[in-house]
Amino acid sequence: MILRIFMLTVLIASVSYSQSTYNSESLQVTRTDLEQNVFSKDSTANALVIYEIGNSYIDNNDFKLHSEIKRKIKILNRDGFHKATEEILLYTNDSGRREIIEDITATVYNLNNGVIEKAKLSEDDIIEEKYNDNYTIVKFTFPNIQPGSVINYSYTLITPFLYKYKSWSFQKDIPTLYSEYNASIPGNWEYNIKLVGGRKLFISDANIRYSCIEVSGGGSANCSDYRYVMKDIPAFVAEDYMTTESNYLAKIDYELNVFRDFDGKVDKINKSWKDTDLEIRRETDFGRMMKKGNIARNVLEDVTISTENDLEKTKDIYNYVRDNFNWNGEHKLFNDVSLKHLIKEKTGTATEINMLLYNLLMENDIDAKPLLLSTRDNGFITKIYPVISDYNYVLIHVSIDGETYLLDANDDYLSFGQIPFKCLNQYGRLFNTKMGSSWFDINPTKSSIMSYRGELELDDTDQLNGTFELLGTDYNAYGSKKQYFSDSETTLNTLVDAKNDVELTHPDYHNLTKTDSTFNMTFDVSKTLEVIGNKVYFNPYVIEFFPENPFKLQERSYPVDFGYKQSFVYTCKLNLGEQYSVEELPEPKQLNLPENAGTLICNYSISGNSVLIYFKLNFNKAIYDPVFYPYLKDMMKDVVDIQKNATLVLAKKN
């Protein structure tokens, strides 16, 4: 009996185990892979990568980089069907050299009535489309996809462009059980290898393989063979307040540093900053624009420029460039830019406009320097060594009487000294033509405010009426200004997030210009209160800052990046008149984040026959490390709860 119970227990455990595990050790599709339609570690997953392996090497015959990609994916439900389409982007340079793809094979496995069925990808399922002059998309969609399908596919990508070795993303928008990448790099090519995303490797091995590359004449090179493995990688879920996800996905990136030819010639690709600065100045259109004072000199001939002081002079020049030259939407930085073209056409790239501003300032004896940076959607800059391709934008740094101003003349809605939100990406490289470049922190010190200040009254008909003033400053004013000047008719209801039963009317905008650092408006508020017995229950927050909690993840492995410090303030005086008295106030609340990184204060008080409501939320940091995430999430939960559920109870007087 004991033996039978033991065997039964083992059988049940075995069945349970087989139903809760996938074969993440190979590309072979097993019955257990097909039988399961859930992923216990992530109930929200619609698909998952069970197993994937990449193998990159320099082929000894064509001396091109070959990357063999093999992958096994489980489709858990219909929402995961989009993972049954694979797209590969192939690059062709201006001289006609191009990447190609070979040996595409794919099979779809389904389990129907206990029988494993296979459907292979045909050549007709593979489509090639031209994306633009430099890129082609190869796309294939797998046949006979249904919930529970397992896809198994492979292909080889061949590229002649060795300056950037094949990168490998371990993390995706779906979970991955096993991801392995093998890279074989000949000693001729020296790459800077960077692990991005903060996740630890399960395996990281390196070995030397001798004479892996041989050329005619007896030349040869040894290879460094690397093996990287990650396991149980969660899906990357993008959430509000972050820069581009490529900054945080777990991946291996390569940048070519040095190439040594077999004839002994050495080509140093990534140079020191001293060499890079010199190369930018001498060999790029951007560098040539730094010395175009003679072209810019005549631009201001008919313009009145203040001579009172350097600050007023700078503002006049800045206003002239911003108001007279239009951005064409392009971000070209180092090449294909020209001041002559801009001056003639009055329209140009962001770089051309800001470099015209730089030249005009320099011609008028203002201490100005270009500040090279990467925008938020372009990713972080590599600080360890110069990578010119990291940069895609330029601002102008101005020093006047010990004060520093960053200027951008491409946006009609920026105030003097304010830079676009897209440029709030931590740091840039400040160019000094005489002393070389240096790092410069991009960190707005001033907090942007969004404030509502109102006064409400209860009349004899149980109607709540009053007026509110909205004040936004700096970045919290920018969007409001842009909305107002593009469509003033809908500005009020677009900007102010009022409760459903609150009516907003009669907006009045105060002395607005596009370049003000503030946005100021007043509007009327009305609401009909519901009387139950002789009591009134209502929420004193007629306006909400956050209708819902923006932080919903169980945990967040990347920072919360607001871009700037900010404060939200709501104050209201509620006059009760002669009809009501206060029976119950909402509960006050006060929270402090660790290290004084943020505060929430919520108070209610009685003054005469009025109720005073005070709410203030401070974010004292522009960027919060992931360790702050649970605290931010809890605080924002309280913020939403307060503004949705705070209840003020009034009693009607006899």
pLDDT, one tens digit per residue, over 367-384 is: 999 999 999 999 999 888
Cα 74 versus chain centre, distance: 28
Token pair belonging to 79: 């929402």
Confidence of residue 10 (pLDDT cuts 50, 70, 90): very low
Question: Span 558-583, mean pLDDT?
Answer: 93
In angstroms, the CA 29 to CA 8 distance is 28
| DSSP assignments along 106-122, one per residue | EEEEEEETTEEEEEEPP
1 pLDDT above the threshold of 60: no
Most confident option among 83-87, 505-509, 528-532, 563-567: 563-567
Q: Using 50, 70 and 90 to split pLDDT, how confident is the model at 605? A: very high
What is the arithmetic mean of pLDDT over 13-42? 78
CATH topology of domain 448-652: Jelly Rolls (2.60.120)
* pLDDT score recorded for residue 652: 84
Please give the mean pLDDT across all residues of the chain: 89
User: Residue 421 — very low, low, confident or very high, per pLDDT cuts 50/70/90?
Assistant: very high
pLDDT, tens only, 515-534: 999 999 999 999 888 888 88
Nearest-angstrom CA–CA distance, 368 and 384:
26
* Least confidently predicted of 1-5, 75-79, 276-280: 1-5
Separation in Å, CA 428 to CA 244, 375, 381: 17, 10, 8
Q: Which residue has the higher pLDDT, 6 or 101?
A: 101
**Predicted confidence band of residue 460 (pLDDT cuts 50, 70, 90):** confident
Instruction: Say what the pLDDT of residue 13 is.
Output: 41
More confident residue, 568 or 436: 568
Q: In the prediction, which pLDDT does 20 show?
A: 52
pLDDT for residue 497: 75
Higher model confidence: residue 435 or residue 352?
A: 352
CATH topology of domain 273-442: C8orf32 fold (3.10.620)
pLDDT at 4: 53
CATH number of the 7-266 domain: 2.60.40.3140
**C-beta of residue 60 within 8 angstroms of C-beta of residue 29:** no
- The pLDDT, as a whole number, for residue 6 is 44
Which of the four pLDDT bands, split at 50, 70 and 90, describes residue 8?
very low
Distance CA 529, CA 574 (A): 14
What are the extents of the domains in the chain?
A: 7-266, 273-442, 448-652
Tokens of 348: 């140009």
User: pTM to 2 decimals?
Assistant: 0.86
264-268, 298-302, 330-334: range with highest mean pLDDT: 330-334
Q: Mind giving me the DSSP string for 276-341?
A: HHHHHHHHSHHHHHTT-HHHHTTTTTTS----S-HHHHHHHHHHHHHHH-EE-S----SSS--HHH
* pLDDT tens profile 298-314: 787 777 787 779 999 99
Q: What percent of the chain has pLDDT over 90?
A: 61
Partner residues linked to 158 by β-bridges: 66, 100
d(CA 180, CA 226): 10
**pLDDT per residue as tens digits for the range 143-182:** 899 999 999 999 999 999 888 889 999 999 999 999 999 9
pLDDT of 3? 47
Using alpha carbons, select from 465, 484, 481, 463 the residue that is nearest to residue 473: 481
Give me the residues paired with residue 592 across strands: 599
Write the pLDDT tens digit of every residue in 75-96: 999 999 999 999 999 999 878 8
Model pLDDT, residue 14:
39
- Residue 112 and residue 99 in contact, taking contact as beta carbons nearer than 8 Å: no
Residues 172-229 pLDDT 10s? 999 999 999 999 999 888 888 989 988 999 999 999 999 888 877 777 889 999 999 9
- pLDDT at position 62: 86
Q: Are 130 and 121 in contact (CB under 8 A)?
A: no
Q: What percent of the chain has pLDDT over 70?
A: 96
Please, which residues bridge with residue 344 across strands? none
Q: Where is pLDDT greater, at 131 or 632?
A: 632
The pLDDT, as a whole number, for residue 180 is 97
pLDDT of residue 290: 86
Out of 370-374, 413-417, 534-538, which region has the weakest mean confidence (pLDDT)? 534-538
What pLDDT is attached to residue 263?
A: 67
